[in-house]
Amino acid sequence: MKVTNRPILLVEDDQVDMMSVTRALKQIHVSNKIVHRENGEDGLNYLQDETNDKPCIILLDLNMPIMNGIEFLEAVKSDDRFRRIPVVVLTTSDEQQDKVNSFDFGVAGYMSKPVDYWQFVEVIRSIDAYWTISEMP
**How far is it, in rounded angstroms, from Cα 126 to Cα 133?**
11
Mean pLDDT of the region 75-96:
90
Query: What is the residue-averaged pLDDT of the chain?
Result: 88
Mean pLDDT of the region 77-97:
89
Residue 89, beta-bridge partner list? 60, 110
Q: What integer pLDDT is reported at residue 45 of this predicted model? A: 96
**How far is it, in rounded angstroms, from Cα 100 to Cα 79?**
20
CB neighbourhood size of 26 (10 A)? 11
pLDDT tier at 4 (50, 70, 90 boundaries)? low
> Side chain identity at 82, as an amino acid letter?
F
DSSP string, 16-74: HHHHHHHHHHHHTT--S-EEEESSHHHHHHHHH-TTSPPPSEEEE-S--SSS-HHHHHH
Q: What integer pLDDT is reported at residue 133 of this predicted model? A: 67
Domains recognised in the chain with CATH numbers: 8-131 (3.40.50.2300)
Supply the angle between the helices 96-104 and 69-77 in degrees, to the nearest 10: 10
